[in-house]
Amino acid sequence: MRRVFLFAALLVLVGLSTAFAASFSSQSEDIASFTTDVSISVPGPTPFPNTIFVRGGSDLPPGDLDLMTPVANDNVTSKLLVLSTEPIELQTAATKYFAWESPVAPAQGYSLDGDVTLNLEQKDGGSNRMTAGLFSCPELAPVATVTGSTPACSVIAIGVSPAVSGGNGFLDRTVFFPDVSTVVPAGHQLRLKIVNRASDGSGVLSQGDFTVAWGFLPARQSTLVIVP
């Protein structure tokens, strides 16, 4: 009789163990795993507008590269540029250059991507060719010094206006910068600089002093035009 009791008790224990194991297995199977894709978007650089307005109310640099369409007309500003021999990125003589700069780039910078054309007016001799450069400069970089300064600017592109024939008055002139692709980083400014350079490695560019003029009027807009 005692053996029968012990055998019955053993069967009860085995049944309880089996039930516990089944319960654990059932609970384990009820646990599901889910995977969710997480995408983190980092803002890119702010593109420059397709038209940047070249402005500035005096003959002392820097002038302004205005990213907004002006709401009022400017008094046209002019500057005599004395013939020089120094490369544009090294020119610091006040009588031999002029420069304009944009607002300081935001946290992600400004992107400049496309063909860029400078439109200004030039007086005194169609054969005298204007040299212009685009630079990325820290906000505190000296206006006169481009490369070699502390902090230093970097060259984006340099171009020369084509020669035109006839006329000694103010004529529309352009400088073309093809295939520009760069980012002006946070804390930097886009800088435009022009000089009257006598020659470079390609030959004679200019043979005398000339005057440039800029400003915003409906019929006379000095601009940097960007074609993406």
- Residue 210 is part of which domain span? 46-227
pLDDT the model gives residue 53: 98
Query: Which pLDDT value is given to residue 38?
Result: 62
Taking 80 as the threshold, does the pLDDT of residue 116 lie above it?
Answer: yes
4, with CB counted inside 10 A (0-12, 13-18, 19+), is exposed
Q: Identify whether 34 is part of a domain.
A: no
Identify whether 36 is part of a domain: no
Give the span between the Cα atoms of 174 and 51, in whole angstroms.
Answer: 14
- Per-residue pLDDT tens over the stretch 31-86: 455 566 666 766 899 999 999 999 997 878 899 999 999 999 999 999 999 999 99
| Strand bridging mode 171-184 / 110-123 | antiparallel
153 in a domain, yes or no? Answer: yes
Q: How far is CA 127 from CA 97, 133, 168, 172, in A?
A: 19, 19, 10, 13
- Digit-coded pLDDT (tens) for 157-200: 999 999 887 666 888 999 999 999 999 999 999 999 999 999 99
Number of domains observed in the structure of the chain: 1
**Model confidence, pTM:** 0.80
In a domain, 215, yes or no: yes
Tell me the mean pLDDT in the region 82-111.
95
* 110 within a domain of the structure (yes/no): yes
CATH code of the domain in which 76 resides: 2.60.120.260
Asked whether residue 1 is assigned to any structural domain, the reply reads no
Residue 4 lies in a domain: no
